[in-house]
Amino acid sequence: AMAGPLEPHLEALRRELDPAVLSVLLALLAVAITLLIWRFVQGRRSSRKAVLLLGLCDAGKTLLFARLLTGKYRDTQTSITDSSAVYRVSNDKSANVTLIDLPGHESLRLQFLERFKAAARAIVFVVDSVAFQREVKDVAEFLYQVLVDSTVLKNAPALLIACNKQDVTMAKSAKLIQQQLEKELNTLRVTRSAAPTSLDATGGPAQLGKKGKDFDFSQLPMKVEFVECSARGSKGEEGDADFEGLEKWLAKIA
């Protein structure tokens, strides 16, 4: 019944057009549709598959990266460029994520963050638990810069704050680090928003958390977790690293 009203039109078409031309047109249409579907799928898949390892200099990012990928201990130097590799998640979901280790040096970190922030599906912020008391202001400043970034706020990648170097006895616990960071970020958001407005002010810096209340990590749009780990491992260089929490979290977000 449906074909009925269409038939005269089809007949007219068939009569007007050469069958070769018609087949070429159909082929082109098929190719176009395939391309569209393919690009759509690609875009979805590759847009945010990366897990970024961020942190200050000497926090242990590169060693963590090496341990996760190979399980072996490596002597590392200060990174000056990024390293990326595909990491197969430990449980049997057989999913994989791309781990990207970014340099922590002050002159390089923002540049690399710019480059990779759009592709981030999750961020692991590595903190040196031993030197934390000394470096709390710098840690908070970098974390603040990451959190108010517009791309990060838009995508809201899951955030894990890994308190590294727990094998040393003087390391601070994750709870203490969380409290200190919250206090420091509370102060920072006041001072940063009170800074003179920038040239071509396109609105001030983003407000972190809720106004009026003390800053809390639960006020952020993304999920934040704290975990303790040790890239070196309690048994020294021959043994394994202690980062079950980290691996579980990676499995969860993959």
Partner 1 sequence: FAVLFLQVGFQKILTLTYVDKLIDDVHKEFRDKYRNEFQQKGTLGLLNGTFDFKDDFMRLLRDAEESSKVRAPTVMKTFEQSLKSQKTVKCMIETRGEKPKEKIKNKKNKSSKKEGIEAVAAPGKASAGDKQPPAAGDKEELTKDEILQKNREEFFKRHMKSGEKSSKSPKPDAHKEKGKKPRVWDLGNSNAKVLDYSNSATNGSAEACPVEEFDPDMALGDRNREPGRLYDLEYESDDEAEEEKVVQNPSKPSAKKGGLGGMFGMLKGLVGSKSLTREDMDPVLEKMKDHLIAKNVAAEIAVQLCESVAKKLEGKVMGTFTTVTSTVKQALQEALVQILQPQRRVDVLRDVMDAQRHRRPYVVTFCGVNGVGKSTNLAKISFWLIENGFSVLIAACDTFRAGAVEQLRTHTRRLNALHPPESHGGRTMVQLYEKGYGKDAAGIAMEAISYARNQGFDVVLVDTAGRMQDNAPLMTALAKLIAVNAPDLVLFVGEALVGNEAVDQLVKFNKALADHSMAQTPRLIDGIVLTKFDTIDDKVGAAISMTYITSKPIVFVGTGQTYCDLRSLNAKAVVAALMKA
Binding region for partner 1 (CB under 8 A) = 66, 69-70, 72, 74, 77, 80-81, 83-85, 106-107, 110-111, 137-138, 141, 187-188, 190-192, 194-201
Nearer to partner 1 by Cβ, of 221 and 239: the residue is 239
Q: How many CA atoms lie within 13 A of 211 on its CB side?
A: 3
Minimum CB distance to partner 1, residue 31 (Å):
20
CA 112, CA 103: separation in Å to the nearest integer? 8
| Residue 119 contacts residue 112 (beta carbons within 8 Å) | no
Nearer to partner 1 by Cβ, of 33 and 190: the residue is 190
Nearer to partner 1 by Cβ, of 111 and 179: the residue is 111
**Euclidean distance between the first and final Cα of the chain, in Å?**
50
Minimum CB distance to partner 1, residue 140 (Å):
10
Minimum CB distance to partner 1, residue 41 (Å):
22
Minimum CB distance to partner 1, residue 10 (Å):
42
| Residue 165 contacts residue 234 (beta carbons within 8 Å) | no
CA 33, CA 23: separation in Å to the nearest integer? 15
The residues, ordered by sequence, that sit 6+ positions from 15 with a Cβ below 8 Å of its Cβ are: none
Nearer to partner 1 by Cβ, of 101 and 242: the residue is 101
Nearer to partner 1 by Cβ, of 145 and 158: the residue is 145
Length of the chain: 254
For the record, the structure tokens of 145 come out as 């810069």
Phi and psi at 228, nearest 5°, equal -100, 140
Minimum CB distance to partner 1, residue 236 (Å):
19
